[in-house]
Amino acid sequence: MINKLVIGTRSSQLALWQADYVISRLQEKYPELKIEKRLMTTKGDRVLDAPLAKIGGKGLFTKELENAMLSGDIDIAVHSLKDMPVVVPEGLIITAITSREDPGDALVSPEYKTFAALPAGAKVGTSSLRRKAQLLHARPDLDIRDLRGNVNTRLKKLEEERFDGIILAAAGLKRLGFTDRITDILPKSMVLPAVGQGALAIEAREDAKEIREMLDFLDDKETRACTEAERAFLATVEGGCQVPVGVYALPDEEGGLKVEGVIASLDGARLYRDAVQGPAADCMKLGRQLAEKLLDAGGREILNEIGIEV
């Protein structure tokens, strides 16, 4: 068995939590395994003065880690699955997807106890076009402002820049011990989450069979089926991380999957939402089927308007 593993991760507090979680699980199962953690900085970490959608390109938070894997500098990388492009570079593979934490979006507000309690014209911060479009559809009166940075930075800006509220992934807040800062979890009937939100992805070289076998126990089959449906949806709409689409899959009562998706205009004025159900074994087919339904309903026109040819 391999006796040493080099794990690559971004250096934000949340990324370090994610890497340490994987390390702790590995050390529980393989007590003799030596693990080295290598911290790296990605383009998405370096460029903080522009909205993600304007930086352009895919893999803003993954490319440097993937290059290090391909060159052999690191053995595996730990990512938030929602940060991963739907196309993984040749020679690499998502070898494990962990059990999902709360996939929802959370409101953090110093004054208002619920999202519904936000007053007309409330200043709300988010870095996501997906969140912005769906929030404006529900509340066109809101003043949505761009908000970049890691979780701690955004919480600091909440007070410094006098936001009435900010929207963050619930999973990140819970993992960093900020559960008590969560004011409200936005209902999925109003805001569908990002692809893979709440799940961790462990990426490895495709030919590293022994390493991949060691990691297999971390792969949660239910979460994988759900997130593969979501990633197939995103691939079909030709989307990266920063497009006004949301999608969420979960097991249904019959042992299959229900996949719900949304495509919205940036101003929230137009929104197309639908759902499909079927066998979990057909997860990717379900994601593609739902995407085609929404594209045909009017989503294609919306995406074309923002420069995405579908």
Catalytic residue numbers, as ranges: 83
Full strand arrangement of the beta sheet holding 165-169: 143-146, 123-126, 165-169, 105-108, 184-185
Confirm if 140 and 132 have CB atoms less than 8 A apart: no
How far out from the chain centre does Cα 276 lie? 21
Tell me the backbone φ, ψ of residue 274, rounded to 5 degrees. -160, 175
Tokens of 277: 């159900």
Tokens of 83: 């940060």
Whole-number Å distance between alpha carbons of 94 and 87: 10
What letter does residue 41 receive in the DSSP assignment? -
Q: Which helix (H) or strand (E) holds 264?
A: strand 257-264
User: Tokens 């011990």 sit at which residue?
Assistant: 177
